[in-house]
Structure 1
Amino acid sequence: MNVRPYSATDAEGLWELKRGFELGIGEGTGDEGKGPKYEAKLTDDYRERWLAWVDDCVAENDDCVTVAVDDDGSVVGYAFVLPASLAFVWDAAVLNEVFVAPDYRGTGVADELMAAALDAARDMDLPLDRMVLDVDRENDRAQAFYDRYGFEHWGEMVARDL
């Protein structure tokens, strides 16, 4: 396994994992409409815009997106820490996403990605020395993972349709 900074050649693999992340958001959490809402947004336009945003973030900080690549060259996991220019949203480093392909869960890949994400955040000039993330309270696997790294509940996000 090779854990390294993202490059443009990883775009297709990263996108496939992003789709898995988005579709997984609706699995087993929330009401019946949650999954279809996330699936409906995954259009070609969304893909192009999201990958362009990733490129912009990486242009600002080449360590903000880390990928795990298997021996066959497939991207099997990623961690995405928002660049420091966006730290003022929460006055902290923001762990935007961590995702590992199902076949690689429980292998230590997520731990390597988290270590890279924490290193990237430590290198940032932040208003406060902390990392925040949004995790569904019903996602027990993610909760256990973040608990192992010392994350604690800090406030709660609420949302409404526009």
Structure 2
Amino acid sequence: MDDSTDATVRPYDHDADWPALWSLKRAFERELGSADDEKAARYEGKLTDDYRAGYREWVADCVRRDPGCVLVADDDGPVGYCFLLPADLAYIWDAAVVNELYLAPEYRGSGLADDLFEAALAHAAEQSLPLDRVVLDVDPENERAARFYERFDFEPWAELVARSVGGTKRSRR
């Protein structure tokens, strides 16, 4: 795709945009899991009907709490989205939190991701935040994403660590 598009960025409309948002969300999850077969199976396995229903209600609740926290890139229907957590969840990281940013592959390189992200950052600037910052997590192996966020002056801030909920108990030292 060339650098021009007639697409626009606008707030998500839950009734009209849900089917397209779910399609984009599935694509986002599948790309996250594409690094290896085990990870792919985990991400694919979570995309159940129950997950879909729960995610749908969660998105609707977030938008009710903070209209504009979910933005879509629209080109005769949503082709991407940016999900900024509602302002009342800013205390999770004492900041605005970008939960997800995804753009359909055929729109990448068009400048539309910049437009979508700039709109999300503008919405974050309107939120009442404990600290004046925006945080997000990015896979360090996703060099394209890292370069994208660096262009917006994001820099490493902390290291996220994780374990399974059913993991082993703490070790005694």
Partner of 1:130: 133
Secondary structure, counterpart of 1:94 in structure 2: strand
* Deviation readout 1:112-152 (Å, 9 max, x if unpaired): 11111101100000000100001000001100100000000
Partner of 1:24: 31
Say which one has the larger Rg.
2
* Deviation readout 1:31-85 (Å, 9 max, x if unpaired): 5311110110001111111011111010111110000111xx2210000000011
Partner of 2:56: 51
The correspondence for 2:104, drawn from 101, 104, 120, is 101
Report the TM-score, using the length of structure 1 for normalisation. 0.95
Task: Give the unaligned 5+ runs of structure 1.
Answer: none
Q: Percent identity?
A: 55
- Once residues 105 and 86 of structure 1 are traced to their aligned partners in structure 2, the CA distance between those partners, rounded to angstroms, is 29
- Once residues 81 and 37 of structure 2 are traced to their aligned partners in structure 1, the CA distance between those partners, rounded to angstroms, is 27
Task: Give the unaligned 5+ runs of structure 2.
Answer: 1-6, 166-173
- Once residues 20 and 105 of structure 1 are traced to their aligned partners in structure 2, the CA distance between those partners, rounded to angstroms, is 14
Shift >4 Å, 4+ stretches = none
Partner of 2:8: 2
Partner of 2:147: 144
- Once residues 13 and 129 of structure 2 are traced to their aligned partners in structure 1, the CA distance between those partners, rounded to angstroms, is 25
Amino acid at match of 2:137: D
Partner of 1:79: 82
Is 1:15 the counterpart of 2:18? The answer is no
The correspondence for 2:68, drawn from 63, 67, 71, is 63
CA RMSD of aligned residues (A): 0.8
Amino acid at match of 2:133: R
What's the offset of the Cα at 1:27? Answer: 1.9
Is 1:117 the counterpart of 2:120? The answer is yes
Amino acid at match of 1:85: D
Amino acid at match of 2:107: Y
Secondary structure, counterpart of 1:150 in structure 2: coil
What's the offset of the Cα at 1:16? Answer: 0.4
- Once residues 70 and 156 of structure 2 are traced to their aligned partners in structure 1, the CA distance between those partners, rounded to angstroms, is 24
- Once residues 27 and 143 of structure 1 are traced to their aligned partners in structure 2, the CA distance between those partners, rounded to angstroms, is 17
